[in-house]
Amino acid sequence: MRIVVVGTGYVGLVAGVCFADSGHTVVCVDVDEKKIASLRQGETPFYEPGLEELLQKNVAAERISFSTTLADAVRASDVVFIAVGTPQRDDGDADLRAAMSVAHQIASSAERYLVVVNKSTVPVGTAARMQAEIAARAKVGIDVVSNPEFLKEGAAIDDFLRPDRIVIGSRSERARAIMAELYAPFVRTESPIYFMDPGSAELTKYAANAMLATRISFMNDVAMLCERVGADMDSVRKAMGADERIGQKFLFPGCGYGGSCFPKDVKALIATARNHGLDFTLLSAVDAVNDRQKRLLAQKAKAHFGAGNLRGRKFGVWGLAFKPKTDDLRHAPALALIDELLADGAVVSAHDPVAMDNARGHYGDRIHFVNNPYLAVDGADALFLVTEWNEFRQPDFVRIKAAMKQPVLFDGRNIWNAQRLRELGFAYYGVGRAA
């Protein structure tokens, strides 16, 4: 098929490259001329394992190309994916202006039947609205389909090529048949395709992310209780997860979730409920717990050193991205920690394997960036572990202790052995672990 993907962010670029790799002819469209120029050279605008290699392969094979001209691309296409941003507005609702603008341009440019696929995360009712507005502008038949993505940053290629499920919302049998053919190569191992109405597909995306966020915030509350009563979070988590109704996934406490999906989607679902007269109390609490959790490590530091006693102290921070295997800083817990440390007059020295360029753009010279994680602890009063990159799991703690001014560790992901570290002479603070 001839596919157009509008938007070259995480969702759009991954989709375009993976469709091209399965043999389709793909044109990715973006208004950012600089980004398009880089993509033509096989350079990705963000870090995602395996993506740049797959991009270069398909550019060389001439299965994927890049353009800033949407109209020309649409005229030659069978399917157009909309994968533009839907940022959160001040009231929590999603801002649909970019997505609707693209839909209007598609309607004005189409010269024959095509399927418009909403890959962006959008509130319930968006497909219906888009269908109506396209129909009012188009001279040919166009069907709008909702096809939410469930990609995990850091594993997006594998998630797209080997999905655990595909969700397609459409009221058109013709569009359903086209989408089934399009995704056939990715479901050969019997991964299910769930066909449903567009509204249900749109809500599925929000509900899935909200459920995962709920599990995280619930466990963070349990971790806080463990600290108060002297229980061990790791023991509680493992025993809970043994219940097959619960399972082990997303039961790890920490210093909060971040990224482009969970924070925005939780707020958007709360706003959707509010717009329909429903007070989604549970999700409001999930959101509030996460905001609190992002301040947890700073609060532990203030408790250790004394309130108002952080000024002039040097702190090392390991991990800036919101999770490993990405350079994404959106809503990253490390930013909340660093902001609070800076507000209290502390000096911050930070390291992340791939996210430091993005962090430099955010902080400038307000914090120190080091290319080696051990340099971040040189003369430090404490070290904060915020993102659980593999290279941080088994560091040389003897070397760390020798380099630090004070041997104090704040483990925001519970990846280190608390007993061993205390035996080495560290003051160790985890999440939900007894002091």
* Domain final residue, candidates 251, 270, 292: 292
Residue 435 lies in a domain: no
Q: Identify any residues that bridge with 118 across adjacent strands, giving them in sequence order.
A: 82, 146
Number of domains in the chain: 3
CB–CB of 116/143 below 8 Å? yes
pLDDT, tens only, 225-278: 999 999 999 999 999 999 999 999 999 999 999 998 999 999 999 999 999 999
What residue has token string 């905001």?
291
Same-domain status, 275 and 394? no
Same-domain status, 239 and 273? yes
Residue 268 lies in a domain: yes
**CATH number of 114's domain:** 3.40.50.720
Distance CA 125, CA 66 (A): 31
Q: pLDDT confidence of 189, banded at 50, 70, 90?
A: confident
Q: What letter represents residue 133's amino acid?
A: E
pLDDT, tens only, 137-188: 999 999 999 999 999 999 999 999 999 999 999 999 999 999 999 999 999 8
- Whole-number mean pLDDT of the chain? 95
Q: What is the pLDDT of residue 379?
A: 97
Q: What is the pLDDT of residue 366?
A: 97
Percentage of the residues of the chain whose pLDDT score is greater than 70: 100
Same-domain status, 300 and 231? no
- The residue among 71, 51, 180 whose CA lies nearest residue 117 is 180
What is the pairing mode between strands 314-318 and 193-196? unpaired
Catalytic residues: 261
Residue 254 lies in a domain: yes
* Domain final residue, candidates 292, 308, 337: 292
Residue 137 lies in a domain: yes
Same-domain status, 12 and 23? yes
Same-domain status, 313 and 175? no
Question: Does the CA dihedral 317-322-324-325 come out positive or negative?
Answer: negative
Same-domain status, 127 and 186? yes
DSSP 285-320: HHHHHHHHHTTHHHHHHHHHH-TT--TT-EEEEE--
pLDDT, tens only, 80-133: 999 999 888 888 888 999 999 999 999 999 999 999 999 988 999 999 999 999
pLDDT, tens only, 298-327: 999 999 999 889 999 999 999 999 999 999
Question: Does the CA dihedral 298-300-306-307 come out positive or negative?
Answer: positive
CB–CB of 206/265 below 8 Å? yes
- The residue among 181, 180, 102 whose CA lies nearest residue 142 is 102
Same-domain status, 358 and 281? no
Same-domain status, 12 and 59? yes
Same-domain status, 337 and 232? no
CB–CB of 12/149 below 8 Å? no
Same-domain status, 286 and 305? no
Q: Is the pLDDT of residue 53 over 70?
A: yes
Residue 165 lies in a domain: yes
Same-domain status, 28 and 173? yes
CB–CB of 139/162 below 8 Å? no
Residue 434 lies in a domain: no
Q: How far is CA 66 from each of CA 6, 57, 166, 272, 310, rounded to the nearest angstrom?
A: 10, 14, 26, 35, 50
**CATH number of 283's domain:** 1.10.1040.10
Q: pLDDT confidence of 435, banded at 50, 70, 90?
A: low
* Predicted TM-score (pTM) of this structure: 0.92
pLDDT, tens only, 22-45: 999 999 999 999 999 999 999 999
Please give the average per-residue pLDDT across 384-401, as a whole number: 97
Range of the domain at 272: 205-292
Q: Is the pLDDT of residue 355 over 70?
A: yes
Same-domain status, 20 and 167? yes
Residue 147 lies in a domain: yes
Distance CA 392, CA 373 (A): 8
Q: What is the pLDDT of residue 381?
A: 98
* Domain final residue, candidates 196, 226, 253: 196
Q: What is the pLDDT of residue 260?
A: 86
- The residue among 382, 379, 262, 384 whose CA lies nearest residue 320 is 384
